[in-house]
Structure 1
Amino acid sequence: MRTHLIRGVLALAAVLVMADPSAAQSVIRGRVVDQGGKPVDGATVTIEATESNRRAQVKTNRNGEYMQIGLPSGRYNVTAAKDNLKAVQQTNISQGAPVELNFQLTPTSGLTPEQVKANQETQALAQQAIDAMRAGRDDEAIQRFNELVVKVPTCSDCYYNLGVAYSKRQQFADAEASFRKATELAPNSADAYTGLANVYNAQKKFDLAQQASAKAAELAGAGGGGGNAEALYNQGVILWNAGKFADAKVQFEAAVKADPKLAMAYYQLGMANVNLGQLPEARKAFEGYLAADPNGAKAAEVQTFLKQLPQ
């Protein structure tokens, strides 16, 4: 979950700007094999968003391969199952970054009855936590995830989800601690650094937010002049909040170059140009927004701006 609190003064009118994540779509694919490494034909792969009721399901082919396209960016639980065997992983799907998730289905016959019971209880608790978060019951989600990290102290995804839930409750100190723990357990998690950046951003700790966002962009492959448009967009948002409009403009320009369909990057680019007094460039950016998303949430506002901006 990515929440950006954006403040800015438009030269044409005083406005409060809230930037939403892009409604970008991507793809997840992978392979399901058995204990011996042989492909599993006909396994059911279920893909469920952790923060909504969005759900997709697909079957593996004879090579054990599966693919699902058209998934909006976000956090997902992915389950591969056949007969009495099941494996679950959590992943983040980002626009422009195909996800490969492979599974090995193995029996639990080697476990003691006590271990089997403990695993079942942990899985049930995890499902309760995810269901609570998906339904917007943040207090319950926080309670369940805290119970989970007691049982599984190395669960980086648990800490990440705690950070998300605490952020929604505006309990920023707890959110920061949770995201920091997630980065300790999973140093290569761009999601955890993005969450940390958003927490700093909400508290107007813009220098720290920029550092965390830059790390997230590096991990997501957005560094070096290309790659992940969403990560570039997030960096622009943080710079915008810090009042660094020229620097923000650079990031928004890179974002629309990386993904010409990322409408909100065009919108923020237009706003940056307005604040910099670069009105012809602002017009071009706002026109880019309408081309990318003619019926988007900001369409009416953008059309108003275009009527006021010089040709």
Structure 2
Amino acid sequence: MLTRFRNLALLLGAFVVFAGLASAQTSGVEGIVKGADGQPVKGAVVKFDRTDIKGHYEVKTDKKGHYGHYGLPLGTYDITVEIDGKMADKLNKVRTQLGDPITENFDLKASQQQSQELAHAAATGTLSKDQERSMSAEQKAAFEKQNKEREATIAKNKALGDAYNAGKAAMDAKNYDDAIANFEKAIAVDANQAVIYSQLASAYEANAAAKPAEAQAMRDKEFEAWKKAVELAPTEAAYYNNYALALGKAKQIPEMQANIEKAAQIDPSNAGKYYYNLGAVLMNSGQNDPACAAFKKAIDTDANYADAQYQYGVCMVSKASIGKDGKVVPPPGTIEAFQKYLQLKPDGVNAEAAKAMLASMTGAVSTKYVNPNAKPTSK
């Protein structure tokens, strides 16, 4: 929207009111509409919206860009120019007069330049002398108010940035108490930044590990921070995933599963990673059956997720039985999971372990033994 500030030196026509008799008093407005290229605009729609009482009128420009409405009721109007259905320029509070029509030209090229100059003035808080002269007292007051708000915003952003950066620096230096204090300070400046709550949660997590005696209290505050982060950024899957991992460490498994599911719904492209993380926590806490289900979800979501294939195979081995011939009888899908892992990562860190597991199930000879029961880590 391009809005111009103008001095409106309009002559107010005198009129006489006769008792018991109301006479219609009309006025007129005309002018030229020029486009951003400086040429007259044909077919532009000029709209007159009366602001003192309800009233709406429209005219179109001719081939010379001229418009004119000569039967407007005397009053105050907002005049809008539309080109191709889009507002191109606007004048507010134009007061019409009796007698000759007033002239209001629209020069979009000049308006754009003036708009850019005003935007620069708003950004710097400094008006040129010409801009000051062109403004009414109300417009100057509005500009000064905007300038004060701008200065307040700059000060707020500086305080926010300083506190946040100090918190990050303290985290890097492993000064977790200082990190927490600075992130809390940043939140006091602006309590609607999800990323700050995310960093605060991480600081509490680190402090819980560093201070075992205070771990429970730190974890409670960590969970509060994660809850606030996902509340403020409900479409940020990473926050749900990280919150879920924190819950998993505290063995709050149902809550962890709920947040993993939420992350997978929001970010299907990384759902395999989220389900893998769930499976890792479940397996490491001795919950084998739910872990198998989580790893299965991971590979169903992403069949090329090699680590999930391997961990699913390991998980399913625990369900194997011994046949009458003394051979291992793995559940369906177990061998295929190890084979898929080797196809995807023939030189992966779990490649030898996968070969060993396949050998134990198929009778092939393994040349190297690697512990297949090593605990998986979250991604």
141, 162, 175: which one aligns with 2:222: 175
Identity within the alignment, %: 25
The aligned residue for residue 165 of structure 1 is: 203
Q: Which runs of 5+ in 2 are unaligned?
A: 1-121, 125-146, 209-217, 321-329, 364-379
Query: 5 Å matches for 1:268-287?
Result: 268-277=311-320, 278=330, 281-287=333-339
Q: Secondary structure at the match of 1:276?
A: coil
1:216 lines up with 2:263 in the alignment: yes
Note closer, same or farther for the CA distance 1:288–1:152 as it changes in structure 2 (3 Å cut).
same
Q: Secondary structure at the match of 1:204?
A: coil
State the 1:234 CA deviation: 2.9
Query: 5 Å matches for 1:65-80?
Result: none
Query: 5 Å matches for 1:292-307?
Result: 292-307=344-359
State the 1:245 CA deviation: 3.6
Note closer, same or farther for the CA distance 1:300–1:182 as it changes in structure 2 (3 Å cut).
same
The aligned residue for residue 292 of structure 2 is: 249
The aligned residue for residue 23 of structure 1 is: none
Query: How far apart are the structure 2 equivalents of 1:272 and 1:130?
Result: 39
The aligned residue for residue 182 of structure 2 is: 144
Query: How far apart are the structure 1 equivalents of 2:347 and 2:123?
Result: 51
The aligned residue for residue 125 of structure 1 is: 163
The aligned residue for residue 95 of structure 1 is: none
Note closer, same or farther for the CA distance 1:253–1:145 as it changes in structure 2 (3 Å cut).
same
The aligned residue for residue 184 of structure 1 is: 231
Does the CA-based 8 Å contact 1:209-1:238 persist in structure 2?
no
Query: How far apart are the structure 1 equivalents of 2:302 and 2:201?
Result: 28
Query: How far apart are the structure 1 equivalents of 2:297 and 2:254?
Result: 21
Return the structure number with greater strand share: 1
The aligned amino acid for 1:160 is S
The aligned residue for residue 233 of structure 1 is: 276
Computing the radius of gyration over CA atoms, which structure comes out larger, 1 or 2?
2
Deviations 1:229-274 (A, max 9, x none): 2223234335445655444334323322433432221122112211
Note closer, same or farther for the CA distance 1:161–1:269 as it changes in structure 2 (3 Å cut).
same
The aligned amino acid for 1:164 is S
1:261 lines up with 2:269 in the alignment: no
Q: Which has the higher contact order (CA 8 A, sep 6+)?
A: 1
Query: How far apart are the structure 2 equivalents of 1:244 and 1:140?
Result: 38
Does the CA-based 8 Å contact 1:190-1:216 persist in structure 2?
yes
Note closer, same or farther for the CA distance 1:207–1:254 as it changes in structure 2 (3 Å cut).
closer
Q: Secondary structure at the match of 1:228?
A: helix
The aligned amino acid for 1:115 is T
Query: 5 Å matches for 1:38-53?
Result: none
Query: How far apart are the structure 2 equivalents of 1:267 and 1:137?
Result: 38
Note closer, same or farther for the CA distance 1:282–1:184 as it changes in structure 2 (3 Å cut).
same
Does the CA-based 8 Å contact 1:179-1:196 persist in structure 2?
yes
1:197 lines up with 2:255 in the alignment: no
Does the CA-based 8 Å contact 2:279-2:294 persist in structure 1?
yes
Query: How far apart are the structure 2 equivalents of 1:285 and 1:158?
Result: 40
Query: How far apart are the structure 1 equivalents of 2:298 and 2:188?
Result: 40
Q: Which runs of 5+ in 1 are unaligned?
A: 1-106
Query: How far apart are the structure 2 equivalents of 1:202 and 1:293?
Result: 29
Deviations 1:147-195 (A, max 9, x none): 2111111111111122223223434222111111212222333223222
Does the CA-based 8 Å contact 1:197-1:208 persist in structure 2?
yes
The aligned amino acid for 1:147 is K
Does the CA-based 8 Å contact 2:159-2:189 persist in structure 1?
no
The aligned amino acid for 1:181 is K
Query: How far apart are the structure 2 equivalents of 1:138 and 1:305?
Result: 44
The aligned amino acid for 1:284 is E
State the 1:298 CA deviation: 3.3
